[in-house]
Amino acid sequence: MSMRPSSGPASQPDAPSTSAPKTSDWAVPRPTALLVFADGMVVRGFGVGAEGSAVGEVCFNTAITGYQEILTDPSYAGQIIAFTFPHIGNVGTNDEDIETSNLAASSGIRGCIMRTAITEPSNYRSGRHLDQWLKARGIIGISGIDTRALTALIRERGAANAVIAHNARGEFDIEALQREAAAWPGLEGMDLVPDVTSTQRYDWDEGLWTWPDGFGADGPTRHHVVAIDYGLKRNILRCLTSQGCRVTVVPATTEADDILALSPDGVFLSNGPGDPAATGEYAVPQIKKLIDSGKPVFGICLGHQMLALAVGAKTRKMHQGHHGANHPVKDHTTGKVEITSMNHGFSVDRDSLPEGIVETHVSLFDGSNCGIAMEGRPVFSVQYHPEASPGPQDSHYLFKRFVDYIEAEKT
């Protein structure tokens, strides 16, 4: 893989020449961050956030809002995110827009790539500058990168493995970083759920955000849902409580018998990172038992992929994945088109869907599978994130559909 160096200061030599310098030479600061790819390509930039180095898969995200939610989404574990939108940091950060439900663990993200320096925040909800927030969470960032060229390269050749490194003195062992990037095996075959799942069971009762009150407790509950945490996002839990559900969250390795012992009215399979086939080695047998119990089951993202594996379908690694907002998806059950948010590097192979499993949703970008359902059973899932609200509420009906299944089973 190769890419032309980014334009501007990031593509200049590491230090000004010692010979009689031009005026412009003195204006070029020493690069303090590198993006070192597995094929040896090195892109220089300027460090933001935490210092250090991390290896991961480079992907691009096309959303123009929600960078804090993106940076705290556990589904990005093992990845370095390149933001295609240039103005990152313009609304600062706050303590409310964090998606990681397990605050004892990091989101697992390996780093972030930006076109320009972090924008100064201008928003009444801002509590901290993004650079300070990145430092506090140990996330390495690099700015001054031609993200358009990087995005075009990924679209052409697929997601690539790389090391992101930040050193304020500009001191790097490039050969060692190249070896680390080349040695990293990639996300295929990798189970990253243990890095982000909760370690113990807990209850959730927080509702959706409302202005000007923020998040608050929802009203009376009518149903009990057990959510399996493969890398759960908080707003999914809020959407469930908004439908009158009392939610119990359990770790990813919880066995089906222990879940059923909690007497749930329905079971939710959450989003999460990594290869579904790898996580499925221990999760799929439990999902099969939950399906056989007759309980309504609803899955999102990784939960969708592992539900597909549980019913006999297959998953595959995508060329570049889907990461961003404004992805159009058609719901075959209603004929409507939804504007959705997506974040996945694996997908369900529609050609492998067995008899009795129908495709309910499809991406209008590339035709890939975005939803399945079992015929005659209250079991369904979608590939995208209905809680992320780019539509903004195009996909909220899915949570009501889940509750409708629960109420039908009760009666």
Tell me which residues are annotated as active site. Answer: 301, 385, 387
Whole-angstrom Cα distance, residue 41 to residue 38? 7
Which residue, 308, 195, 299, 205, is CA-closest to 248?
Answer: 205
Contacts of 237 (CB under 8 A, 6+ apart): 101, 204, 206, 227, 247, 249
Per the structure block, which two tokens stand in for 353? 């869907």
Whole-angstrom Cα distance, residue 152 to residue 47? 23
Whole-angstrom Cα distance, residue 121 to residue 87? 10
Q: At what angle do helices 397-410 and 234-242 cross, to 10 degrees?
A: 50
Whole-angstrom Cα distance, residue 256 to residue 222? 23
Question: Of all helices (H) and strands (E), which one includes residue 113?
Answer: strand 111-113
In degrees and rounded to multiples of 5, residue 60 shows phi and psi of -115, 145
Per the structure block, which two tokens stand in for 407? 């109420």
Q: Do 369 and 362 contact (CB within 8 A), yes or no? A: yes
| 245-251 and 223-229 beta bridge pairing | parallel
Q: Do 145 and 33 contact (CB within 8 A), yes or no? A: no
Whole-angstrom Cα distance, residue 13 to residue 339? 44
Which letter does DSSP use for residue 128 in this model? B
Q: Do 78 and 192 contact (CB within 8 A), yes or no? A: yes
Whole-angstrom Cα distance, residue 367 to residue 263? 38
